[in-house]
Structure 1
Amino acid sequence: MRHDSNNSSAAGPRADASPLVLPRKRGRKKVDGLVEARRQQILTAALELFGTKGFHRTTTQDLADSADVSVGLI
């Protein structure tokens, strides 16, 4: 029995193979610029609050209220 190295059933890409499907990313899609804008909004609010109330007296709720975002985002 002779082994033919040009056998089409050898390992390798198949003509009928379905395309590679990547797993779906979780969560919401990030809107360009929105993430950075929110980050700057939170940082600006933090600097103002730390300047007036002090770092140790500023709560995450204070920061969220000042930045107009949810506490979970902080």
Structure 2
Amino acid sequence: MSRLVELDARGPRKLTEEDLHEEKGDVAVCRCGLSESFPFCDGSHRRTADEDADTRYVYDEDGERRAVERIVYADADES
């Protein structure tokens, strides 16, 4: 399975002691790209549990998933 994840960050996020979860004592970093508290995991990856391995998906701003045949990127120089 593949998933389109669009991010607008311009650099790394350095984790500090303040980022530790008070109860769990750990930091979970998002790897699915769907977290509302990115770069931290908020459990949003659970929505991907039933994704098919041979399907591409996009998630819209509302978190709705749809399967797509392909992803096409426009050339940055094109208007």
TM-score of Structure 1 vs Structure 2, range by shorter chain: under 0.3
Structure with the higher fraction of residues in helix conformation: 1
Bigger-Rg structure (1/2): 1
Of structures 1 and 2, the one with the larger relative CO (CA 8 A, separation 6+) is 2
Structure with the higher fraction of residues in strand conformation: 2
